[in-house]
Amino acid sequence: MKNHWKILPTAFVVLLLPQFLFGQKTANFAQLLDQAGLEVFKPLDAGYRAFQPLENEYLNCQYAIHSNREDLQICYYVLPWNETDHATVNPHVATFRVLTSVASNADEAVISAIQPDREALIRDFNADWGMAYFFRPKPAFAQAPNCKMLALSKEGQGTVFVFFLFDDPGNLALDRRELAVRFR
């Protein structure tokens, strides 16, 4: 019976450690959102659940959700505005860095870019600048074969990257979930 009491504190730590770590990540993400003046809209339908993306050498997203029903993962990476950091005050520089880090550099890989019109950026995201990219991600960044990256920025607040990772290029959930984030 004495051995059971020795195991109990260890079991308690092992069971609570994941909750502490994931809770800490969520708290850090909430702090980043607050610093950048962002709101994230987690879908209430389609069974979306938060998960901790695997660490990788290219870019570690700060928060992620997925839905098996919609076959879609949505990952977020936030860069709060910092006057002393060239990349955060020049969203096109930060976006190029992120894009070249996570997109495949295979010879046959293609990156498509779409710049939303200014009115749509303001209406939908309250952003000053934005771009959308479609590409095949590096396997170490994501296992999904397709990615839509939405890069949005608001002067004085920050830049956010939203990665929509999916298998089927005709996935209709992409259009419904594009409004996943908005600047206050």
pLDDT per residue as tens digits for the range 106-128: 999 999 999 999 999 999 999 99
Q: What is the mean pLDDT of the chain?
A: 86
What's the pLDDT at 2?
Answer: 55
45 — pLDDT class (breaks 50, 70, 90): confident
Q: What pLDDT score was predicted for residue 180?
A: 84
Instruction: Of 19, 140, 119, 26, give the one whose Cα is nearest residue 76.
Output: 26
β-pairing, 63-67 vs 72-80, is: antiparallel
pTM of the model: 0.83
CA distances from 54 to 81, 88, 94, 101, 150 (A): 26, 24, 22, 16, 20
Burial 67-85 (b: 16+ CB within 10 A, else e): beebebbbbbbbbbbeeee
Instruction: Please compute the mean of the pLDDT values over residues 92-112 and round it to a whole number.
Output: 94
Predicted local distance difference test score (pLDDT) of residue 46: 87
Tokens of 14: 């092992």
The closest alpha carbon to 135, from 95, 165, 160, 174, belongs to 165
Q: How large is the average pLDDT for residues 98-113?
A: 94
DSSP string for the chain: -HHHHHHHHHHHHHHHHHHHHHHHHHHHHHHHHHHHTEEE---SSTT-EEE-PPP-SS---SEEEEETTTTEEEEEEEEE--TT-HHHH-HHHHHHHHHHHHB---TT---EEE---HHHIIIII--SEEEEEEEPBPTTT-SSSEEEEEEEEETTTEEEEEEEEES-TT-THHHHHS--EEE-
Predicted confidence at residue 19, as pLDDT, reads 38
